[in-house]
Chains A and B, each alone.
Chain A
Amino acid sequence: MRLGEKAGLKPAKPMRDVFGEALLQLCRDNPKIVVLDGDLSNTTKTLAVRQEFPERFYNIGLAESNMVSIGAGLADCGFIPFVTSMSAFLLCNGYDQLRISIAIAGLNVKVVGSHGGITLGKDGPTAMGIEDLALMGGLPTFVILVPCDPASMHKAVRATAEHIGPVYLRSSRVAMPHIYPEDDCPFEIGKANVVREGGDLTIIGCGIMVAAALDAAAMLAGEGIEARVLDMHTIRPMDVEAIAAAACETGAIVTAEEHLLHGGMGSNIARIVAATHPVPMRFVGLTDTYTDSGDPYDLLEKYGLTAQDILVAAREAVAAKA
Chain B
Amino acid sequence: MSQTLDLQALKERAQSLRLDILDMTTHVASGHPSSSFSSVEILTALYFGGILRYRSDDPHWLERDRFIMSKGHAAPLLYAVLAHAGYFDREKLWALRQVDSPVEGHPVQGRLPGIETTSGSLGKGISVGLGHVLGGRMNGLNYRVYVLLGDGECEEGQIWEAAIAAAHFKADSLTAIVDYNKYQETGPISREMALEPFAEKWRAFGWHVEEVDGHDIQAITETLKAVQEVKGQPSVVIAHTVKGKGVSFVEADYTFHGRALTPEQAEKAREEILCG
The answer to whether A and B interact is yes
A-contact bits for B122-143, CB 8 A (1 contact / 0 none): 0110011111111110110000
Residue B34 is within 8 A (CB to CB) of chain A in the complex: no
With the chains together, A105 CA to B118 CA distance in Å?
7
Q: When the two chains form the complex, which single residue of B108, B123, B165 contacts A105, counting CB atoms closer than 8 Å?
A: B108
Which residues of A are found within 8 Å of B164, using beta-carbon distances?
A: 61, 63
Contact A77-B128, Cβ < 8 Å, known A70-B165, A96-B121, A100-B121: no
- Inter-subunit contact B124/A99 (CB<8 Å): no
Which residues of A are found within 8 Å of B22, using beta-carbon distances?
A: none
**Among listed A52-60, A266-274, A279-287, interface-contacting one:** A52-60
With the chains together, A96 CA to B121 CA distance in Å?
8
Residue B30 is within 8 A (CB to CB) of chain A in the complex: no
With the chains together, A55 CA to B132 CA distance in Å?
15
Which residues of A are found within 8 Å of B241, using beta-carbon distances?
A: none
Which residues of A are found within 8 Å of B108, using beta-carbon distances?
A: 104-105
Residue A101 is within 8 A (CB to CB) of chain B in the complex: yes
With the chains together, A55 CA to B135 CA distance in Å?
11
- Inter-subunit contact B121/A99 (CB<8 Å): yes
Which residues of A are found within 8 Å of B116, using beta-carbon distances?
A: 76
Residue B117 is within 8 A (CB to CB) of chain A in the complex: yes
Residue A79 is within 8 A (CB to CB) of chain B in the complex: yes
B-facing residues in A174-204 (Cβ within 8 Å)? none
Contact A104-B118, Cβ < 8 Å, known A65-B161, A97-B158: yes
- Inter-subunit contact B138/A79 (CB<8 Å): yes
Contact A74-B165, Cβ < 8 Å, known A100-B120, A101-B118: no
Which residues of B are found within 8 Å of A107, using beta-carbon distances?
A: 109
With the chains together, A61 CA to B158 CA distance in Å?
13
> Closest B-chain residue to A101, C-beta based?
B124
Residue B235 is within 8 A (CB to CB) of chain A in the complex: no
Which residues of A are found within 8 Å of B133, using beta-carbon distances?
A: 73
**Shortest distance from the beta carbon of A102 to any chain B beta carbon, whole Å:** 8
Which residues of A are found within 8 Å of B117, using beta-carbon distances?
A: 72-73, 76, 101
